Structure 1
């Protein structure tokens, strides 16, 4: 049976209207989760200073840094890298990661974000 095409050829997400939810990094506003023909989700995330190291078994995340302090860094497995606004890091499944320092990012997640795919070593 053919699927029903969307009523229009685009989707609009107003992140100002999306409530933030707690996540290992801080607070995330998640968009496009309910759009069946979009294969991922897009999050605007406020990273707190106490982000927890975690990884995903299935999800690929791409962090685009919007705002961050001069001392902002990303911990990726055993490596710590400085980051700045305008940078982007793609994080493959299995990579343990966390942000160090306060920052605001856009996180593009494929496939769609699944909160059951957040894993911790503790």
Structure 2
């Protein structure tokens, strides 16, 4: 039986990603077939999709004009908005956003497909 894990997401070194900076946890936790990311969305966020990953975004904090763009449709977001993004959906966050992302299966950067903004 797996032992529980406790992770301070803010203690993880951030990694550049198409959205901005991500702090990824639980890649080595066999009891959970996914990862959890604390991501700081930057103004340079790129549109992208995933071949196999499903992502759940939970907006923790954002500017008043923040939005999510899903297959070209822009929708305003606010703190505690949750967004489910299945594989193949071209998406990007717009504006300053701090989000928790649950990725299933475990994140793999080779699964990302960058597109034009």
Which TM bucket (shorter chain)? Answer: over 0.9
Q: How do 1:42-81 residues align onto structure 2 when only pairs under 5 Å count?
A: 42-81=36-75
- Measure how far apart 1:39 and its partner are: 0.7
Specify which structure has the higher proportion of strand: 2
SS in 1 for 2:114: coil
- Measure how far apart 1:16 and its partner are: 2.2
Q: How much is the aligned-residue C-alpha RMSD, in angstroms?
A: 0.9
Give TM-score, length-normalised by structure 2. Answer: 0.95
Q: How do 1:24-43 residues align onto structure 2 when only pairs under 5 Å count?
A: 24-43=18-37
Deviates more, 1:11-20 or 1:57-66: 11-20
SS in 1 for 2:49: coil
- Measure how far apart 1:17 and its partner are: 1.7
- Cα distance in 2 for residues equivalent to 1:99 and 1:62: 13
- Matched pairs, number: 116
- Cα distance in 1 for residues equivalent to 2:100 and 2:50: 17
Identify unmatched segments of 5+ residues in structure 2: none
Q: Give structure 1 regions of 4+ aligned residues with deviation exceeding 4 angstroms.
A: none
- Cα distance in 2 for residues equivalent to 1:67 and 1:84: 7
Identify unmatched segments of 5+ residues in structure 1: none
- Cα distance in 1 for residues equivalent to 2:69 and 2:44: 12
- Measure how far apart 1:73 and its partner are: 0.5
1:104 partnered with 2:104: no
